[in-house]
Amino acid sequence: MTQKNVSQKILLFFMMLSLLFISACNPQQQAVLRVGASQWLGYETLYLARALGFFDSNDIKLKELPSATETLRAFKQGRLDAAALTLDEALLLAETVPDLRIFLVMGISNGADKVIVKNDIQQLSDLKGKRISVESTALGAYMLHELLKAAQLTLNDVIIDSATVDQHYDRMTHGISDAVITFEPIASSLLDLGYSTLFDSSQIPNKIIDVLVTKQSVIDQQPHNISALVSAQWQSLAYMQAKPDSAYQKIVPRLNMTTDQLAKSYTTLTLPDKTDNQQLLSYDSTSSLAPTLNELSSVLFEVRLIQTKPLINHLLTDEFVR
């Protein structure tokens, strides 16, 4: 072997070693952010962003799950890096995930979450002795708690049927339940069949809030991907405002709704923009989510969904919305 060949091989060896070193020093460039969400119009801005190419699908992977129960399970099992949940579900998760962080507020329900009932139920007191289907999540428990409080009933006055959201339609149409605590697109499907709304989240304003959560360890490892996801959310919101008809046309096939149904449903949901998020995720703001977190934490503790109230002083982060 000539001296020239030996020199070339040595040079090639060190070049390969340098590439390995650079790769090891930049794990975030190789990582994929796995984001999970159940089917819900408040989370559709993420899928709209994907459809419009607002983020790189090689870096951010959206995973649709059949229910919030499955989303929580997948996050706990480490199959997701970020998850779309309601604020109360995030609190439930925070009890076992100490480094949980809420980094984006996606929606505030103002009538989008509903109690759909059969026509023989005309008023809240009529729920006594009736079977109510509800998902066994923090959101389901919170809505049920507020419903019974408004009806001046207790758990002993009703029959609770535990059912995930993908089972709600069949529960009602097959006569298994008299009422169901649900949301879109199931709510519109049932209303179109002649069922009616007895109670909704507009009666408990600013309590049912959709958020994106992750872990501090993921933030440390993938800040670029999380920033890209948040940026895509702002682009989606801008697109929906500028071209609502086009946005709805892209969303309706996924939710199996008409554009009219979707447009009407979005009137019951506030989609916070960047400025709103800066206020909601700051502990120093008068609009901070901190007081709501404290209130929801007390309710979840009262109904024994959590054994201890999680510390909320590090739960919110405005790092990605500034």
* 251 and 131 belong to one structural domain: no
* 100 and 216 belong to one structural domain: yes
Q: Are strands 60-65 and 179-182 parallel, antiparallel or unpaired?
A: unpaired
* 168 and 292 belong to one structural domain: no
pLDDT band at 23 (very low <50, low <70, confident <90, very high): very low
Number of folded domains in the chain? 3
Q: 306: which 2 tokens?
A: 């959590």
Q: HEC profile for the chain?
A: CCHHHHHHHHHHHHHHHHHHHHHHHCHHHCCCEEEEEECCHHHHHHHHHHHCCCCCCCCEEEEEECCHHHHHHHHHCCCCCEEEEEHHHHHHHHCCCCCEEEEEEEEEECCCCEEEECCCCCCHHHHCCCEEEECCCHHHHHHHHHHHHHHCCCHHHCEEEECCHHHHHHHHHCCCCCEEEECCCHHHHHHHCCCEEEEEHHHCCCCCEEEEEEEHHHHHHCHHHHHHHHHHHHHHHHHHHHCHHHHHHHHHHHHCCCHHHHHHHHCCEECCCHHHHHHHCCCCCCCCCHHHHHHHHHHHHHCCCCCCCCCCCCCECCCCCC
Q: Is 317 domain-assigned?
A: no
Q: Is 309 domain-assigned?
A: no
Q: Is 319 domain-assigned?
A: no
Burial of 119 (0-12, 13-18, 19+ CB in 10 A): exposed
* 238 and 251 belong to one structural domain: yes
With a cut of 90, say whether residue 221 has pLDDT above it.
Answer: yes
* Span 163-179, average pLDDT: 94
* Span 187-192, average pLDDT: 92
Q: 192-214 burial string, b = 16+ CB within 10 Å, else e?
A: eeebeebbbbeebebbbbbbbbb
Estimate to the nearest angstrom the gap between the alpha carbon of 146 and the chain centroid: 20
What pTM, to 2 d.p., does this model score? 0.81
Among residues 160, 182, 203, the one where a domain terminates is: 203
CB atoms within 10 A of CB 179: 25
Instruction: Report phi then psi at 215, rounded to 5.
Output: -110, 155
* 93 and 225 belong to one structural domain: yes
More confident residue, 146 or 9: 146
* 221 and 296 belong to one structural domain: yes
* Span 49-74, average pLDDT: 95
Q: Is 229 domain-assigned?
A: yes
Provide the residue range defining the domain that includes 267. 31-108+209-302
With a cut of 50, say whether residue 48 has pLDDT above it.
Answer: yes
pLDDT band at 309 (very low <50, low <70, confident <90, very high): confident
* 21 and 44 belong to one structural domain: no
Hey, what amino acid is at 279? Q
* 216 and 85 belong to one structural domain: yes
